[in-house]
């Protein structure tokens, strides 16, 4: 409270007069009611809506056969990095300059200084101990690749379904504009196709028209959707979606949430509550997926840490990887937080959301 | 956003501060640290190299000033180089002689174009213009719907039709002319820089409306790739400026430096929050100062000017100085403060706020509590808190859903604050506070006032005090 008082006075002093009274804009994430389902006294904000397409009518899907190869998709954007590695490959011997080149390449891939230094330190050790020969650059590159691939060893890349009766719940979180809603739309299409009943929970009640965006995906996938009114409590929407799924016997609830910067305390609190509600029986929360934009730099690590602290992230969805040769920040995230990468988005089409393959990812990085 | 970078420099310079002078070895170490800090801040490698080289030359060169310690000198050099890289002057919008002035927004998916369009429209309206929005993002489902909602919120018309982006843009422009709007903002679909087809499409949209300003919208959290993306967009569209979004996060924002450097066009606006009001013009010198831990009080004041009620605040200041500041005044001010967004963000803008305090989580819920407590008081109690006995306090605690401890706390702190203000009142007047309510004060005067008001425990400027 002291801080608040000091601030008020400070700002009064700082401003000797205002010019315009700002129009009142929408407030969000104010005081949260305590943990739990929407309290009965409040006006029921959510209205279950089912899409026109019933679950039985199997929609025509534009998922082509064969999954896209990461390397092809990345080919267009990858030139710069490949150039670095080719240069190293062509060298006669490994010297300090080689390491500098490697360091630059990794940093340009957004791997980050800490992880880069650590990985290259390991290579230096191998060189010193004679495991690697100083005159064999291709072997060094191979060792580096292997090291990076081994970082993902033991990860479970598949998404978990609940084994009990209740519907499986996957919760999607992340900062603004990373592609949460789009990822959910594409996953809905995929899961519907594999025969699961899917209910989408339009938990982004903040961003204008986020519900409409998800609804058009629901229509496309033939999935059901539960929406709340704008500004409704997201946990209540998700609560309703789980109930709806349970009563209709749908097996999977994909819960969207509003994008939020991990620095906003109140919004992260809101997310904690969303998680608590999503966990409630009959729903079984098996995945909390952090959606991460592949163009994100080192802030991705901070995001992953904060979201993990708040809601226990179980895996990462790396989107928009086709636009960038990088996504190297997931290496930093993997090494610092041990989070597995579960899905990778390599294009606009629904089929372009594919399971993560470390070998493919790392070798695509190296060209 | 740039806090983390600030912290890093802080750490480097704390070590530096203890030393008498810089040798070559120290320079190398400091440069290495600065390099790492900038890279961790996602500044592009090439840009970092250029910066470091410039700093090296100036640090080891003959430019030695006698009145500065080596540490101060390095800080000064780094500050100047950062400012230079971030760009000279702020962008000044000049309006087309034959309206409307057309503004086109382009960028990657999810960078925040649609939100920025609406914020920009609001900004233009505040400049006394009559903006009009064109929703040419037909790619993302419900993008136009989003723009319509935002448009309704800020009271700006939105044009779109389900045809193709080029005809939407053309149709929207014609409609704007018919309606006599003088600024048109075109929101386009997000696209990857490497997507030839879509880059070609945005070029055709641009050809159709011939924008006076083309802004590249870029996420402050972007990594090394920012440079390539910006280059590609610049080639396709000839950018005039940059809008940096999501600046309210804790990304170190190196992308700003990189993009600026590559495109060579100024960063025009910062999008600093989720509400449409969270939008401000960019000032490179302020940002460089902020990177170096000097706060950004000018932006704070500008923001306050936009959101504050001049008259009310003027009166409050007078009363504050006279020592007759009541709980009612306090409540007014608190409500105005609330309009400016989360308090944590405000703290980071105040210069000289110690690191611990910047990191302190200001609980925005406290604001609600304080509001509730004061609202549960009678008018008499608000003007004269001395009448508050135990039973009144209990009633207030019940009425506001708080505890008597919280009520007592608030009252005690308010009293202390009053006492403190009475002491500095005359001084604030001396420092230029004698013109409360003067709408066009010079920013310098205002800044002094802040210092005079001793809000800042220590002013951490670049001066020899350091």
User: Do the Cβ atoms of B409 and A1 come within 8 Å?
Assistant: yes
**What is residue A89's predicted lDDT score, i.e. its pLDDT?**
81
Measured between beta carbons, the chain A residues lying within 8 angstroms of B276 are 25
Q: Which CATH superfamily is domain A70-150 in?
A: SRP54, nucleotide-binding domain (1.20.120.140)
B251 touches chain A (CB under 8 A): yes
Higher-pLDDT residue of B416 and A17 is B416
3-state secondary structure chain B: CCHHHHHHHHHHHHHHHCCCCCCHHHHHHHHHHHHHHHHHCCCCHHHHHHHHHHHHHHHHCCCCCCCCCHHHHHHHHHHHHHHHHHCCCCCCCCCCCCCCEEEEEEECCCCCHHHHHHHHHHHHHHCCCCEEEEEECCCCCCHHHHHHHHHHHHCCCEECCCCCHHHHHHHHHHHHHHHCCCEEEEEECCCCCCCHHHHHHHHHHHHHHCCCEEEEEEECCECCCHHHHHHHHHHHHCCCEEEEECCCCCCCCHHHHHHHHHHCCCEEEEECCCCCCCEEECCHHHHHHHHCCCCCHHHHHHHHHHHCCHHHHHHHHHHHHHCCCCHHHHHHHHHHHHHCCCHHHHHHHCCCCCHHHHHCCCCHHHHHHHHHHHHCCCHHHHHCHHHCCHHHHHHHHHHHCCCHHHHHHHHHHHHHHHHHHHHHHHHHHHHHHCCCCCCCCCHHHHHHHHHHCCCCCCCCCCCCCC
Given CB atoms, is B225 within the 8 Å cutoff of chain A?
yes
Q: Per residue of chain A (367 residues), give pLDDT as tens.
A: 666 666 676 666 654 322 222 222 333 443 334 444 444 444 444 444 444 333 333 333 333 445 555 656 655 545 556 777 888 888 888 888 888 888 888 888 888 888 899 999 998 898 888 888 888 888 888 888 888 888 888 777 788 888 877 899 999 999 988 989 999 999 998 888 888 889 999 888 888 888 888 888 888 888 889 888 877 888 899 999 999 888 888 889 999 998 888 888 888 888 999 999 988 888 888 999 999 988 888 888 889 988 998 899 999 999 888 766 578 888 888 888 888 999 988 888 888 888 888 888 888 777 6
pTM (two decimals): 0.69
- Residue A170 tokens read as 């996957």
Query: Averaged over B319-324, what is the pLDDT?
Result: 74
| pLDDT at residue B441 greater than cutoff 50 | no
pLDDT at A262: 85
Judged against a pLDDT cut of 60, whether residue B396 lies above it is answered with yes
Element (H, E) at A72: helix A70-75
Average pLDDT estimate for B336-354: 63
Question: Could you tell me if the ipTM is greater than 0.90?
Answer: no
Please state, in angstroms and rounded to a whole number, the distance separating the CA atoms of residues B53 and A261: 34
Parts of chain A belonging to CATH 3.40.50.300: 161-313
> What are the chain B neighbours of A22 within 8 Å (beta carbons)?
277, 306-307, 339
B87 has a chain A CB within 8 A of its CB: no
The pLDDT tens digits of the residues spanning B326-343 come to 888 888 878 877 776 666
CATH 2.40.50.700 fits A161-313, yes or no: no
Q: What average pLDDT score do residues B211-231 get?
A: 89
Q: Is B359 on the interface with A (CB under 8 A)?
A: no
Which segments of chain A belong to CATH 1.20.120.140?
70-150
Distance CA B141, CA A212 (A): 7
Residues 100-159, chain A, touching B (beta carbon < 8 A): 104, 107-110, 112-114
Query: Quick one: pLDDT at residue A296?
Result: 87
Within 8 A of B143 by CB-CB distance, chain A residues are: 209, 213
Inter-chain residue contact B143 with A213, CB threshold 8 Å: yes
- Judged by a CB distance cut-off of 8 A, whether residue B192 touches chain A is yes
**For residue B290, pLDDT beyond 60:** no
Q: Measured between CB atoms, does A322 come within 8 Å of chain B?
A: yes
pLDDT at B427 (0 to 100): 43
Chain A contacts of B320, Cβ < 8 Å? 9, 12-13
Over the stretch B118-171, which tens digit does the pLDDT of each residue have? 999 999 999 999 999 999 988 888 889 889 999 999 999 999 988 899 999 999
The domains located in chain B, with CATH, are: 3-86 (1.20.120.140), 101-295 (3.40.50.300), 302-452 (1.10.260.30)
User: pLDDT value at position B106?
Assistant: 92
Min distance B339 CA to chain A CA atoms (Å): 7
What average pLDDT score do residues B9-20 get? 60
B385 touches chain A (CB under 8 A): no
Q: CB B301 to CB A264 under 8 A?
A: no
């Amino acid at each position: 409270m002291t801080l608040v008082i000091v601030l008020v006075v400070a700002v009064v002093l700082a401003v000797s007069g205002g010019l315009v009274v700002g129009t009142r804009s929408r407030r969000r994430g104010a005081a949260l009611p305590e943990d739990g389902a929407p309290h009965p006294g409040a006006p029921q904000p959510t209205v279950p809506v089912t899409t026109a397409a019933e679950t039985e009518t199997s929609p025509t899907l534009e998922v082509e056969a064969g999954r896209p190869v990461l390397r092809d998709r990345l080919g267009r954007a990858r030139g710069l990095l490949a150039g670095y590695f080719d240069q190293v490959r062509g060298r006669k011997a490994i010297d300090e300059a080689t390491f500098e080149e490697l360091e630059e390449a990794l940093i340009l891939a957004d791997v980050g200084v800490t992880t880069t230094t650590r990985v290259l330190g390991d290579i230096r050790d191998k060189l010193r101990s004679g495991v690697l020969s100083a005159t064999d650059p291709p072997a060094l590159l191979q060792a580096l690749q292997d090291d990076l691939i081994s970082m993902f060893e033991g990860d479970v890349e598949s998404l978990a379904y609940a084994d009990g009766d209740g519907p499986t719940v996957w919760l999607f979180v992340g900062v603004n504009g990373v592609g949460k809603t789009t990822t959910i739309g594409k996953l809905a299409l995929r899961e519907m196709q594999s025969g699961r009943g899917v209910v989408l929970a339009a938990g982004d009640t903040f961003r204008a028209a986020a519900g409409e965006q998800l609804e058009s995906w629901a229509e496309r996938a033939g999935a059901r959707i539960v929406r709340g009114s704008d500004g409704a409590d997201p946990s209540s929407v998700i609560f309703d979606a789980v109930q709806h799924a349970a009563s209709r016997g749908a097996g999977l609830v994909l819960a969207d949430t509003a994008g939020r910067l991990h620095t906003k305390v109140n919004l992260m609190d809101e997310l904690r509550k969303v998680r608590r509600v999503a966990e409630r029986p009959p729903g079984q929360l098996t995945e909390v997926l952090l959606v991460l934009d592949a163009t994100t730099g080192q802030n991705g690590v901070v995001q992953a840490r904060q979201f993990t602290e708040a809601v226990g992230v179980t895996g990462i969805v790396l989107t928009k990887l086709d636009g960038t040769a990088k996504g190297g920040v997931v290496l930093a995230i993997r090494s610092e937080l041990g989070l597995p990468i579960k899905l990778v988005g390599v294009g606009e089409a629904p089929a372009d959301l594919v399971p993560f393959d470390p070998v493919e990812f790392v070798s695509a990085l190296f060209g | 956003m740039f806090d983390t970078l600030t912290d890093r420099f802080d750490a480097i310079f704390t070590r530096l501060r203890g030393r008498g002078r810089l040798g070559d070895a120290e320079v190398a170490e400091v440069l290495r640290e600065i390099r790492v800090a900038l890279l961790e801040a996602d500044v592009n490698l090439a840009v970092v190299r250029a910066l470091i080289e410039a700093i090296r030359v100036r640090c080891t060169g003959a430019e030695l000033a006698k009145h500065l310690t080596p540490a101060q000198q390095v800080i000064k050099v780094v500050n100047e180089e950062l400012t230079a890289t971030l760009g000279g002057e702020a962008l000044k919008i000049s309006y087309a002689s034959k309206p409307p002035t057309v503004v086109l927004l382009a960028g990657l998916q999810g960078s925040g174009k649609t939100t920025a369009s609406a914020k920009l429209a609001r900004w233009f309206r505040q400049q006394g213009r009559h903006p009009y929005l064109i929703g040419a993002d037909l790619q993302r489902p419900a993008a136009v719907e989003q723009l319509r909602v935002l448009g309704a919120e800020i009271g700006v018309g939105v044009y779109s039709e389900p045809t193709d982006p080029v005809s939407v843009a053309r149709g929207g422009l014609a409609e704007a002319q018919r309606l006599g709007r003088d600024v048109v903002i075109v929101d386009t679909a997000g696209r990857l820089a490497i997507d030839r087809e879509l880059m070609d499409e945005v070029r055709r949209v641009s050809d159709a409306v011939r924008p006076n300003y083309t802004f590249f919208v870029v996420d402050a959290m972007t990594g090394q790739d920012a440079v390539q993306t910006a280059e590609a967009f610049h080639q396709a569209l000839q950018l005039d400026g940059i809008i940096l979004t999501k600046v309210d996060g804790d990304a170190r924002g190196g992308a700003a430096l990189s993009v600026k450097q590559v495109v060579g066009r100024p960063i025009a606006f910062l999008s600093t929050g989720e509400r449409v009001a969270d939008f401000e013009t960019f000032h490179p010198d302020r940002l460089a100062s902020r990177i170096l831990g000097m706060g950004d009080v000018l932006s704070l004041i500008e923001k306050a000017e936009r959101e504050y009620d001049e008259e009310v605040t003027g009166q409050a200041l007078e009363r504050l100085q006279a020592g007759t500041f009541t709980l009612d005044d306090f409540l007014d001010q608190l409500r105005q403060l609330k309009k400016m967004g989360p308090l944590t963000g405000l703290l980071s803008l105040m210069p000289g706020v110690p690191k611990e305090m910047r990191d302190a989580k200001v609980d925005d819920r406290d604001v609600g509590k304080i509001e509730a407590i004061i609202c549960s008081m009678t008018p008499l109690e608000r003007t004269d808190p001395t009448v508050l006995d135990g039973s009144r306090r209990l009633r207030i605690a019940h009425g506001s859903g708080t505890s008597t401890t919280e009520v007592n706390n608030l009252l005690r702190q308010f009293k202390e604050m009053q006492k403190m203000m009475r002491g500095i009142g005359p001084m604030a007047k001396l420092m230029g506070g004698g013109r409360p309510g003067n709408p066009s004060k010079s920013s310098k005067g205002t800044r002094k006032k802040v210092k005079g008001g001793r809000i800042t425990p220590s002013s951490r400027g670049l001066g020899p005090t350091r």
